[in-house]
Amino acid sequence: MSKYALALAAAGILGLGFASGAGDPVPHPSSFSHGSVLAPAGDAAFGNEPVANEVVEEYCLRCHSERRQVGGLVLEGFDIAEAEERRPTVEKMIRKLRAGMMPPRGVRRPEVDVLSAMATELEVEMDRIANDNPDPGRRTFQRLNRAEYAAAVRDLLGIDVDVAAFLPLDTKSANFDNIADVQMPSATVVEGYLRAAGQISRLALGNPEAEVGSTIYRVPRVASQKERVAGAPVGTRGGLSVVHNFPADGKYIFHVMPYAAVEGEVFGRTFGTEQMEVSIDGARVALLEVDRWMSESEPTGLNIRSDSIYVTAGPKRVSVAFVRQFEGVVDDLIRPIDHTLADGQIGIGLGVTTQQHLQRVTVLGPFQVTGVSDTPARRSIFTCRPTAPEEEAPCARDILERLASKAYRRPATESDVEGLLAFYERGAADGGFETGVRTALQAVLASPHFVFRLERPPEGAEGGTYRIADVDLASRLSFFLWGAPPDEALTEVARRGELSEPAELERQARRMLADPKAEALSSRFAAQWLRLQDLEKIHPDALTYPYFDETLADAMHRETETFFSHLVRDDRPVTDLLTADYTFVNERLARHYGITGVTGPDFRRVSYPTAHRRGLLGHASILTLTSHPDRTSPVLRGKWVLEVFLGAPPPPPPPDIPAFEETAASEEGRFLAVRERMEMHRANPACNSCHSAIDPLGLAMENFDVTGAWRIRDGGNPVDPVGVMYDGIQLAGPDDLRDALLRYQEVFYRTFTENLMAYALGRRVEYFDMPTIRQITRDAAANDYRMSSFVLGVVGSPPFRMARAAAVAEDQAESTPQPQHQ
């Protein structure tokens, strides 16, 4: 059978994203043979030329010629025989063809099976080239970002630290904050790690000479005061609950400040005197009275001060919350205060929830220090105790060797230990054994071996590929699946040199996926891939959406993470991200969705009463983060679908194009729905080329308002979600959009795998990685595209297990600072 006939058969019969059987298995490129080319029937009668050459010549050069260069792509003179020299271009062609985006709707285009055959032909050639010249890619180093640094400290010392107080925001690239080549260590970053090392070493060991200090914890204005905060004692509402590290045994004072109303009294409706409970590890230590004008409880102001309370050193859960006085239905709307009528607008900058509201808690102390009690962190550090001066140095060596081995994620060398002992001796000379250990611990936390994940190539590997050392592979695997350093079991396998064996690597990966720590795949990978961090930027208008508060936003975020974690834990098919008829909600979110029978703050699995919310397209987190505070945004929603699900981001808007916000919101006194305003905006030809692809995807979700609640009217106008997708598919709502995406589920699988691999590798996926991406999705078909198939596919892939060493010239080039990607 000819190469063309095979390509056509693979595309049409096996269905690579165009036919209805888009999820069927696809053979590996090596199973294709090459022979004479047979002309297909109908539109594809191209003679003896490869189908790609003929399609490009007949259908693509109108836009992608040397003269027009639409999208910056030139295909004039394209020949698949020269594909190796144009691999980035060919991979772009494959991506557009598989997503059904090229040729665009409205221009002459060949039959679907011909386009599918062309895509398959290009893929076969790209995969053949990759098999002949494998390139696993490389990265220079990887620095622990904020989340990884906090996890590493927790794993080493058992304490939680607020790394935001020390380290600047992490730069993101390719959706993720762990991409190595944008993690260049600036002076600010290095200074942050040094300050963090000093503070964390004192927190871990405690400080009997601690000076009086203060730590402030704030409560957002829009956090509900109706619900019990996670971690707070039963019978309370609102307030906050945090883990606070007390530096020493001594007395501490808690300053509690509620929000004030405009007139100066305590904000919120009161029924007599309210009470606030201060508890430590669930035990009440203070009960504070709060009356409306503070005339009885604190006549000097709103800053309520507790008595001195004795607390031992170490991390403790501190909760400050209102005592619940009654049960029943209570509205907790967002109330705009500090009203102004400037320009006809009501100011809502100080909007808070209507019940009495905690603003901040300050922990002040320690006073009258009595020492430092034994804490979990001290027990993890001091595994031996010298009883005589001559025992101090050997004990310190044992402690530092063990800490360094765990912190550096590899066996500590003699040189490592000797260097740390020098710091110990310097500290011990000033303050004795414990001060010496603390000084050496500070050196451990500031060491490049702790802060950076260095992967050293073997001798003589310059310019070639090499297998990553087992201890480095253990770190790759652990930070991928757990977002944290490897545990003892994984480290021991790596020390024995067994981790690089494929069977053992898979066994360890499966063990780690079954561990609760694998929730990091949802809180780290999925949260960033799905852009959940953008939810924090959206504050829906309080006048239009008075029931939206911080508690609801947190529940939205938690729903999506819990849902993804369930897919990993139960090894569900990845298509559940599009089709699942269930989700996880607590009472607050269930009420928002109109789901009955759910009570309490805990999340539980529920089935949707209708099909509208199936999959991620119905998650309020996604719908809110792709909206503006005062209106929905079909552009943001359509763009999100293109980028996150189809891996086909639209180009940036051309310069000098008026923004959508400049389109009038009303006309002759009549409110214009978002759809009408978009049609006016799209009338500009410069806007229409991109918006014709973006807008129908977003408009299909127009029945969901800014907060993700279902609606049938938009400002008095009926919602009109009807549109035509870029490939001609009619869309009339979220159900149609979901079905349309399922026609391109092979594209969805590849996009998911690309993001998973970028996160796992800590580098951007390049054109030479695409054959591996395709192979992982093909292999996943045999296991019904279950989550483990993709995770294990990435773990077992050459880019994960191997790397390309830099040539000498490349190393010299990398010594020059490079521009950072955003």
pLDDT digits (tens, 9 = 90+) for 527-539: 999 999 999 999 9
Q: pLDDT at position 43, please?
A: 37
Q: pLDDT at position 42, please?
A: 33
pLDDT at 688 over 50: yes
Q: pLDDT at position 711, please?
A: 95
Considering only the C-alpha atoms of the chain, give the largest distance between any 2 of them, rounded to a whole number of Å: 96
Q: What pLDDT digit, counting tens, does each position of 323-342 carry?
A: 998 877 778 888 876 554 44
Q: pLDDT at position 260, please?
A: 85
* 45-50-52 Cα angle (round to 5): 90
Q: pLDDT at position 650, please?
A: 85
pLDDT at 21 over 70: no
Q: pLDDT at position 251, please?
A: 97
Q: pLDDT at position 557, please?
A: 98
Nearest CA-CA partner of 247 in 380, 381, 370: 370
Distance CA(23)–CA(13), nearest Å, equals 12
Q: pLDDT at position 261, please?
A: 80
Identify the top-confidence range among 37-41, 271-275, 699-703. Answer: 699-703
pLDDT at 401 over 80: yes
Q: What pLDDT digit, counting tens, does each position of 125-170 carry?
A: 999 999 999 999 998 789 999 999 999 999 999 999 999 999 999 9
Distance CA(659)–CA(661), nearest Å, equals 5
Residue 813 — very low, low, confident or very high, per pLDDT cuts 50/70/90? very low
pLDDT at 662 over 70: no
> CB-based burial of residue 85 (10 Å sphere; 0-12 exposed, 13-18 middle, 19+ buried)?
exposed
Q: pLDDT at position 92, please?
A: 95
Identity of residue 369: V
570 versus 689: the higher-pLDDT residue is 570
Residue 437 — very low, low, confident or very high, per pLDDT cuts 50/70/90? very high
Contacts of 579 (CB under 8 A, 6+ apart): 614, 615, 738, 742
Q: pLDDT at position 402, please?
A: 97
Tokens encoding 650 = 């639209």
Tokens encoding 21 = 């059987």
- For residues 386-414, one letter each, b for 16 or more C-beta atoms within 10 angstroms of the residue's C-beta and e for the rest, the string is eeeeeebbebbbebbbbbbbbbbbbebee
Q: CB-hemisphere CA count at 13 Å for 413?
A: 4
Instruction: Tell me the mean pLDDT in the region 24-32.
Output: 34
Q: Helix (H, G, I), strand (E, B), or coil: what is residue 545? A: coil
Q: pLDDT at position 173, please?
A: 94
Q: pLDDT at position 184, please?
A: 85
pLDDT at 712 over 80: yes
pLDDT at 549 over 70: yes
pLDDT above 90 covers a percentage of the chain that reads 70
Q: pLDDT at position 683, please?
A: 58
pLDDT at 601 over 70: yes
Q: pLDDT at position 820, please?
A: 39
pLDDT at 44 over 50: no
Neighbours of 618 (CB within 10 A): 23
Q: pLDDT at position 689, please?
A: 60
From 598-602, 636-640, 744-748, the region with the lowest mean pLDDT: 598-602
Residue 106 — very low, low, confident or very high, per pLDDT cuts 50/70/90? confident
Q: What pLDDT digit, counting tens, does each position of 239-287 carry?
A: 999 999 999 999 999 999 998 887 778 888 656 678 999 999 999 999 9
Residue 675 — very low, low, confident or very high, per pLDDT cuts 50/70/90? low
Q: CB-hemisphere CA count at 13 Å for 280?
A: 17
Contacts of 571 (CB under 8 A, 6+ apart): 786, 787, 788
Distance CA(305)–CA(290), nearest Å, equals 11
